[in-house]
Amino acid sequence: MDVGKLGIWYFFDGASSAEVAASAKRIEDLGYRTLWLPETVGKNPFILASWLLANTQTLNLATGIANIYHREPTVSRGLQYTLAEQSADRFLMAIGVSHRPIVEGVHKLKYGPPVATMRTYLEQMDTAPYNGLRSAEDPLTLIAALGPKMLELVKTHAQGAHPYFTGPAHTKMARDILGDGPLLCVEQKVILETDAEKARAMARPVAKIYSRLPNYRNNWLRMGLTEDDIDNLSDRFIDETFAWGDADDLRERISAHMDAGADHVCIQPVNPNGTFGDLHWQCLEALAPAG
């Protein structure tokens, strides 16, 4: 699968299926290669991926990030193989262990040790029975890997890593650990706004959603940010994890990830109009590979 250099990562929970299909077609026309669909407590990313694959011609669809606690390994394997065959290999699956507050607090499930739980899950997926028609090539499995131990697991149990809410320094660390071979597909939040005060003010409500989740916090500390940076959503924190400015500034951040070892950057545009559910098309058009 060719995931391309640039993709889109976006929540579509607030849009109708018809609206999302229209957006996917427009993203495809702009030249983006892969559209990443998150999983929280809204639209099912596998069902949505099937719908969007049926409504596009060349666009890849990816889960980013499917929660392993939402389905057992045999179900994930069946979904993966079915969507890959259905779409002529335009589907890839990134899975993650989520966070204890979500797994135990929201879903009322028992949260296990992250690396050991992911290892067991992948091994069970690998041996899961599947009797349906398959594509000639096995679909890709990526791990939402942030820390060194999870990145090490990628090398033996998956085909790549999908880090979320990081910066180029983390990308370099990830590539150093992964070495050559595994895909490194990183998410980057972008804001097409040149006024620093305005851009940072738009970033903070987005960042606040994630700021208490332990796996992200631990990774930001690993990146050299402080507890105060995270708690106060400091300018330093925002500038490290968000890209803001004009189109050239945003391209510079994308290039920094590539120079650090990324194979693919999926941008998540923050709409400066304050409408979280609406894609900021001006940003996507400015950065479009086909532009």
- Sorted by where each begins, the domain ranges of the chain are 6-287
Q: pLDDT truncated to tens, each residue of the chain (291 aa)?
A: 999 999 999 999 999 999 999 999 999 999 999 999 999 989 999 999 999 999 999 999 999 999 999 999 999 999 999 999 999 999 999 999 998 889 999 899 999 999 999 999 999 999 999 999 999 889 999 999 999 999 999 999 999 999 999 999 999 999 999 999 999 999 999 999 999 999 999 999 999 999 999 999 999 999 999 999 999 999 999 999 999 999 999 999 999 999 999 999 999 999 887 655 589 999 999 999 976
How far from chain centre, in Å, is Cα 185? 8
Whether the pTM exceeds 0.75: the reply is: yes
Are 270 and 203 spatial neighbours (Cβ–Cβ below 8 Å)? yes
Token pair of 8 as six digits: 């889109």
For residues 223 and 166, what is the distance between their CA atoms, to the nearest angstrom?
Answer: 8
How far apart are alpha carbons 176 and 174 in whole angstroms?
A: 5
CATH architecture of the domain with residue range 6-287: Alpha-Beta Barrel (3.20)
- DSSP for 253-287? HHHHHHHHT-SEEEEEEPPTTS-TTS--HHHHHHH
Structure tokens at 245: 């400015």
Closest CA to 10 of 287, 290, 225, 281: 281
Side-chain-side CA neighbours of residue 206 (13 Å): 25
Cα Rg of the chain, angstroms: 18
Which of 227, 238, 240, 244 lies closest to 283, judged by CA?
244
Phi, psi of 7 (to 5 degrees): -135, -175
**Phi and psi dihedrals of 124, rounded to 5?**
-70, -35
